[in-house]
Every structure is written in C-alpha cells, then in structure tokens.
Structure 1
Amino acid sequence: MRISQLEGRRVALWGWGREGRAAWRAIREALPGLPLTLFCRADEVDGARGVDPTLVVESGATGERLAAFEVVVKSPGISPYGGAAAAAAARGTRFLGGTALWFAGQAGADGVVAGTACITGTKGKSTTSALMAHLLRAGGHRTALAGNIGLPLLELGDAPADYRVIELSSYQTGDVADSGARPAVAVVLNLFPEHLDWHGSHARYLADKLRLVSDAHPKLVVLNANDPRLATLELPHSEVRWFGSAEGWHLRGDVLFRGMREVMDTATLPLPGRHNRGNLCAALTAIEALGLDAAALAPHAADFASLPHRLQLLGERDGLAWVNDSISTTPQATLAALDCFRDRPVAVLVGGHDRGLDWTGFAGALRDRAPAAVVTMGANGPRIHELLAPLAAGGRFGLGAADGLADAVARARVMLGKGGVVLLSPGAPSFGPYRDYVERGRHFAALAGFDPDAISGIPGLGV
C-alpha cells in the first residue's frame, strides 16, 4: 500500500519514536487533510500534540480502539502478535510499517525497487550494511545508507541515489513482503534465536526473518553457505548466490578469495573478528549481485570506520583496554566477541533483559575457551550466573554478580587487574535500565572514563 492509498481511510499511527515521527511526517506531507489518530505512551502525549495540534492523541492502545481503524501504521518495535494488535487484526484492521509504505512507493513497473540491497541477519547486519555502502561510495557511486541502522526509510524518502543499502531487523522484513515490492538484492547473513518476546517463538522468528527472501521475491538473494538453516532454503522465485563457499567470496585463514582467485590479506583490516571478515564476503557478494566489479572495490575496506557499540575499542584507561560491544544481544554474539580477544585476559560483562534465550551453549563454549572473568548483570543475570557457577567453581574463570552496569564495571576492574580487556558484550537487550543499546554503550564509555559523545555517532547515514 502506497501512502496515497491511505486517502479516505480511517488511519492511525502507533508509536512516537523516530520511526513513528517519520511516518507522521511523510503522511502529513502527502495527505495534509487526512485525519490521524496517534497511540503513544502517556509521557509522549503532550509533546505529540505540540508538534501537530490536529492529531487526536491517545495513550494506551487497546484492541477495541485499534479496530476502529482500517489501517494502523505501527512502529517496528510493536509486535503484531501482541494481544491488542492481534485482536484488532482479527476484526479487519491492517497493520503496516513505514518500511512497507516506503517500498510500495518506490517500486517500478516490474515491482522491483531498483538499486536496493536489503541486509538482514541475527548479527552483523549493521556492519555489513555500512561496509557495503562504504565500498560503493569508494567506487564513486552515490549511495544511501538507511533502515534499522539509524535512518528510517520514510526519512530517506525520494533522495536520489544510484544504490540504496538498507538494514532490516526481523521486525521489518515482513514489511518488505507486505509492500508488494521486490528488492533488487536481499542478503541474509545468519540465523540464531533472538527477539523471542516480539515474535513469540523461535520458529516464528525464523519465518518472519526469512519473509524477506521467501515472500518478497527479490531478484537476487545472497546467503551464507555456512549457516545450516540457510543452506536448506528453496527460493524458486529468486536467483541465489552464496558467500562463504569455495565457488564465491570466502576466506582461507585471513586471506580473501573470489573462487580460486586470491584477492587480499584481511588480517590488518579494521574488521575485528573472523565473523566481521565474513561480513566483508557478504558485502562483496551483494555488490557483485548488483552487477559491479567487487574485486576492484575490496581494497577500500582498509579505510572503513568501524561502527560504534560494535566491538568498539574505546581506548585504554588504568592499564586496561575497554571494548564496547553493547549491540550484542545474543549469547552467540558474545562468543564471537570473546573470540576476538582469545589471546588476552578478558573480563566480559553479560546479561540484560531476559527474553528466555538458552545460554547453555554459551556455558559449554566456556569449557574450552574461558575468559579470565565473567560478570553477570541485569534481569537474566542470576539465571546466567547459576548456569556458569559450576564451571567457575572448577577454576575455569572468575565469576561475579553485579547489581547493574556500574557495579559490573567496578567488579571487572578488581577481578581483572592490569593488562587485560574489559568487554561489554551483554548477549541481551538493554530494555529496563536503558532506552536502547546506544544508551547502554554510552554509559559504559562514561564509566570507563571516555566521552560518550565522542564514541556514539554512526557515520555515513543517508546519501
């Protein structure tokens, strides 16, 4: 559904964060006379009315109230499986996101949104998106970077670009399919359990994540040959290209290959961890899928600026290196972060919002590659602590329990001593004490003695 098709319908907005405000702005610009109702938090009501006095603003969305509207444009963080949304949908209300509205408005006559590369995956999607945009720009191509990485697509609007690299969370992939438009290229990096509270189950998370390639029918799909869930996909409507396989872009040790051709050594690239160099393979495969010479652009990875809150080396203080990996929201991401520092003593801070993820695999991995210390915190901290206690009792590593991030940092300093790495890689969302992973990462930086403002900006958003 395009924004113009909202004309004459009963329309509401649900959510007043950046995505919600972007949707309001885009609808108001296209349809200034369309009556709009906004459902938002109680503390946002007065601010929303001040921005647009014509808005009917209500706090607390119920199934009955939502069902009064034909279309509800909701923010990505609001699950369509929740009680109010599900009840309204059962009575005929259609729920859309800003991503769906943008894609529908950009589609060509064949349904394809030309020059788009959509990137998703449980981990690595932000780095891969930013890296791909960096490489395209280094080749002289006008490139937009938008989506879940920090710029809503409706804010990007119709800004002219040769290519548009779009990061999508699992909250947004279904929107692309619902838009009726087709991406030119879609990339799926990997699949691990995540966001089970939003999706309701691991099976539904996988299905929702994969709607980008199973239901949106991209012209070309780029998949990770080393992910067992992706390896079994059947996509009859799309051409599939693989990264991580001997026939395509892959790594042999630290050396990057395209098939049998050796391209470059990646050991000195600003991409910490083997998983990030695997993201380079994904980005190059997607660039190739767009019809460009990826091998010619690969050396420009040497100039890539790593993103904040993603294995971000803040610097050294008090004889310790401080690394901010606040975006880590799965145990697998924390293990990948630990692998980057396997040759150094590490105190890792884990825990946060409890989504019910299984940490037994994490505990099992620590039997073979234990850090110097683990400090647990947050709502799921006690559960993780209980799981790790038998290993710690056997002398595999030090184990501490903290009341919050400040306490965790203080305990890590004591447990680690001098000459090691304090690694914030929580493996869990920040909900509760923090608005998002950015606020958590900024607090960590401040506790370590660094300026939060100097470490938080994402370069290259927009065109």
Structure 2
Amino acid sequence: MRISQLEGRRVALWGWGREGRAAHHAVRVRQPSLPLTLFCNEQEAADAAALGDPLLSVEIEAGAERLSAFEIVIKSPGISPYTPAAVTAAAAGTRFIGGTGLWFGEHAGDDGVAPHTFCVTGTKGKSTTTSLLAHLLRAAGKRTVLAGNIGLPMLEVLDPRPAPDEWAIELSSYQTGDVADSGARPDVAIVLNLFPEHLDWHGSEARYIEDKLKLVMDAHPRIAVLNAADPRLAALALPHSDVRWFNRDDGWHLREDDLYRGNVFVMDTRPLPLPGRHNRSNLCAVLTALEARGIDALPLAAQAQSFRPLPNRLQTMGTRDGITWVNDSISTTPHATLAALDCFAGRRIALLVGGHDRGVDWSDFAAHMRHDAPATLITMGANGPRIHALLAPVAQEAGFTLIGVETLPEAMTAARGALGGEGVVLLSPGAPSFGQYKDYVARGRHFAELAGFDPDAITAIPGLGLA
C-alpha cells in the first residue's frame, strides 16, 4: 500500500511512540488534507494535541467498535494485532498496516521488488548483524541507510537526499508481517535463527515462528539468506526465492573460530569486535548476502575489524574496583543469556536475570546451569520468583549461589557483595524490561549509572541513518 492510496479513506493511527509520530508526519506531508484519528494514552494525547494539527482527533480508548469504524489503521509495532479488539476489527474489514509496510509500499518497483533493500531478522543478533552489514556496505563504497527496528523508523527515512545506494533494515517479529502485507518484495532477506520470544505479543511459540518467517514465506524476497545450522530454517522450501545458505561447508562458515569461504581459510575471527560467537557466525550471513548481490565479499571480511559494537549488546562498559561491568540489556530470551555466559567462560561471573514475565520456558536454561553456571546467579523482576523457584534445586546440586531480589539496584548490590571486588557483573536478563523500565535502553542506562558510568556515553548507535 502506498500513502497516496489513503486519500479519501477513513484512516486512524494507533500508538504515539516514535513509530506513531513518524507515521503521522509521513502521512501529513503527502496527504495534508486527510482527516486522521489517533488512538493513544492520556499522556500521549497531550503531546499530540501540542502539534496543533486541526485534522487530527485524539481518542483514548481503542475498542473494537471504534477501530472497526476505520478502513485503515496504521499501527505501531508494539501493539499486537492479536488483541481481541484488533481481531474483531479486522474481521469487520479494517486493514491494519505498520509504518514499515507503508515504507515498502512506497519503494516497490514495477516488478514488485523494493530495490537495494537488505532486510535482517532473527531472534538473536539481528541488530549487530544489520549494523555490521551497513558497515561493510559502506566499506565497499556504498552510501547506505541503517534503519528499522534498530532505532530509526523507516518512515523517518522515507525519501532521504541524496538517495542511498543500499538499505540495511532490521526487522523485529512485529514488523516482518508488515513487509509481507505491503505488497512489496525485499531484494534480500536474511533470517539468522529462531528461538521462542515475544510470546505475549504473538500468543504462542508457533505463531511467533510463523510471523517471523513471513519475511521469507509470504513476502517472497528475491534472495533469501538462511542459516543452515538452524533446524527450522534448514527445513524451509522457498520456491519463489533464490536461496543462499550460510553456516554450510560450501559457503561462508566458521570452523571453530576460523572463518572459511568453502575450503578457503579467510581469517581468525577471535580478534574481531563482535561480541559472542553467534555474532561472529552472523558475519557469515552478512558476507553471504553481499555475495548474493554481486558484491565481492572476500576483501570486505577484514573490514569487520573496524566495526564498532552496539550499545546494550554484550557491551563491556569498563572496570570499577576490580569488577568488569557488561551490559547485555537487549537480551530478552534465555537463549541469549546462555550465549552471553558463553562469552565469559572461565571468568568469575555474577549474572543478573529476570524482568517482564511473558511466559517463556526457562527449563532449558536451568538444564544448562547444571554444568555451565556462573559463580552467582541473581534473579529479579516480575518473572524473577518463577526463575528462582526453577533454579533452586539446580543451585543446590551444582553448587552456585542463587539470590532473589526485586529490582536492578538490589541485584547490583548483591552482585558486588558476591564478587568481593573480582569478576564480571553481567546484566543479561533474558526477559523484556517492561514494568520497571520503558525499554531495554532505559534498563541499560540505569545499569550503567548504577555501575558508575555515563549513561549517555553508552547509548549512541554508531552509523544510524544515512552515511
């Protein structure tokens, strides 16, 4: 769908975060006389009213009856389309679309492909992978936009000038369906891995996987780059796409920590500024995607040495009083926490886990703790008691210290006491931040501040936007 197709239609916006504001601006620029209704909370309503848009009306309650009154609702990503109100409205004929979908509709070519678009999704590592992709494209001399779920809504870069050569776009599971619904095909779609996540938004693990895979199953990218080491991805059949595989012996893959292209050794990846082996493995995804687009990837591999790691992602902030502080606030699954632990194997670790409870199963994590536990494990947040109860018998058996607290400040006090001035405090919560914090960035900033670091200095995302 293109923004021009909104003309003369009954249109509403749902949500007034950064994505909602970007949608309002984009629509208003191209449809200045289109009446709009905004559904948001009371605090956001005051902010929207301050715009002075005479054609924007604001409502607080987004019930099924009101949503059904509109032909099109432009929905912010964090609002689930599986809520009863949204399901009822959709059944009555209301079409829900996100800002990402509108962007793709605007950029579809005559053949339906949105040219020069690299879309990256996956449960773990997608932000670092997308940023690394942009870094290597720029190293190849391509003017590249880095945007999407990484922190810059697509509608904020609807029509940048000068026009970029390439687009590196991160997509969450909340946005992959928008691309499929837009009617546009990505040029290249990369799927890194699949683990259970965001079950409260999607409703079930099966639906999460289904929504994530819409990027390749329903959007029919021209080229699909898939992880051969992921069983779900390895089993896919995509007749509408040219499929390229990474983590396979005949392509880009790792042997231990060495990077290979087929049987050709390329380099040792251990010195690279890529936190965690999974991110060094995802370098293989980036190189495969570049190669699929006809870019010589082999000389670009070494350019990963100059990559700047992203904040809140296995970010070593520094050392204070003998303790190294590592901020992995973006970790929202137990699988991500296990990967973070693996990065510091052999170190004395106090691990901080827990946050918003969305019903994710921690039993696999508990099983790993029987043989790969940190010295101290501290649970916190809404799901902290549930994780603590699961781990209590494991802690007795495996011999690690288990502490339960409610808040992050309490967890950090406990971690300092447990380590006694030597070791690593690792914030890798394996759960969202909602409830105690607005988002993972706010949680990471608070962690930095409590540890004695400047929160502003750790939150900037290198290379965001057009460069």
Q: TM-score range by the shorter chain?
A: over 0.9
Q: Structure 2 matches for 1:187-336, cutoff 5 A?
A: 187-336=190-339
Partner Cα separation in structure 2 for residue 7 and residue 79 of structure 1: 26
Partner Cα separation in structure 1 for residue 394 and residue 88 of structure 2: 46
Does the 8 Å CA contact 2:228/2:246 hold for their aligned counterparts? yes
Aligned to 2:72: 71
Partner Cα separation in structure 2 for residue 307 and residue 432 of structure 1: 24
Does the 8 Å CA contact 1:42/1:60 hold for their aligned counterparts? no
Q: In the comparison of the two structures, how many residue pairs are matched? A: 463
Q: Structure 2: which 5+ residue stretches go unaligned?
A: none
More deviation, 391-400/353-362: 391-400
- Is 1:12 the counterpart of 2:12 in the alignment? yes
User: Residue 395 of structure 1: CA displacement?
Assistant: 4.8
SS at match of 1:51: coil
Does the 8 Å CA contact 1:103/1:176 hold for their aligned counterparts? yes
When the two structures are superposed, what TM-score results if normalisation uses the length of structure 1?
Answer: 0.99
Aligned to 2:457: 454
Q: Structure 2 matches for 1:102-141, cutoff 5 A?
A: 102-141=103-142
Q: Structure 2 matches for 1:27-38, cutoff 5 A?
A: 27-38=27-38
Partner Cα separation in structure 2 for residue 383 and residue 88 of structure 1: 36
Partner Cα separation in structure 2 for residue 402 and residue 290 of structure 1: 50
When the two structures are superposed, what TM-score results if normalisation uses the length of structure 2?
Answer: 0.98
Q: Structure 2 matches for 1:340-419, cutoff 5 A?
A: 340-419=343-422
Q: Deviations over 1:31-82 (max 9, x none)?
A: 0000000001111111101113321011121000111110000000000000
Partner Cα separation in structure 1 for residue 253 and residue 396 of structure 2: 41
Partner Cα separation in structure 1 for residue 222 and residue 155 of structure 2: 23
Does the 8 Å CA contact 2:191/2:226 hold for their aligned counterparts? yes
Does the 8 Å CA contact 2:22/2:156 hold for their aligned counterparts? yes
Does the 8 Å CA contact 1:39/1:58 hold for their aligned counterparts? yes
Q: Structure 1: which 5+ residue stretches go unaligned?
A: none
Amino acid of the structure 2 residue aligned with 1:105: E
Aligned to 1:431: 434
Q: Deviations over 1:346-373 (max 9, x none)?
A: 1100000001000000010111111111
Does the 8 Å CA contact 2:275/2:313 hold for their aligned counterparts? no
Aligned to 2:178: 175
Does the 8 Å CA contact 2:356/2:434 hold for their aligned counterparts? yes
Amino acid of the structure 2 residue aligned with 1:22: A
SS at match of 1:77: coil
User: Residue 140 of structure 1: CA displacement?
Assistant: 1.0
- Is 1:440 the counterpart of 2:457 in the alignment? no
Does the 8 Å CA contact 1:138/1:297 hold for their aligned counterparts? yes
Partner Cα separation in structure 1 for residue 279 and residue 376 of structure 2: 24
Taking only aligned residues, the RMSD between alpha carbons, in angstroms, comes to: 0.7
Partner Cα separation in structure 1 for residue 446 and residue 77 of structure 2: 25
Partner Cα separation in structure 1 for residue 329 and residue 296 of structure 2: 34
Partner Cα separation in structure 2 for residue 154 and residue 28 of structure 1: 12
Partner Cα separation in structure 1 for residue 392 and residue 424 of structure 2: 22
Does the 8 Å CA contact 2:139/2:300 hold for their aligned counterparts? yes
User: Residue 289 of structure 1: CA displacement?
Assistant: 1.5
Q: Deviations over 1:164-206 (max 9, x none)?
A: 0100000000001101101110000000000011011111111
- Is 1:142 the counterpart of 2:143 in the alignment? yes
- Is 1:98 the counterpart of 2:99 in the alignment? yes
Does the 8 Å CA contact 1:186/1:220 hold for their aligned counterparts? yes
Partner Cα separation in structure 1 for residue 311 and residue 243 of structure 2: 32
Partner Cα separation in structure 2 for residue 38 and residue 116 of structure 1: 30
Aligned to 1:421: 424
Partner Cα separation in structure 1 for residue 106 and residue 3 of structure 2: 7
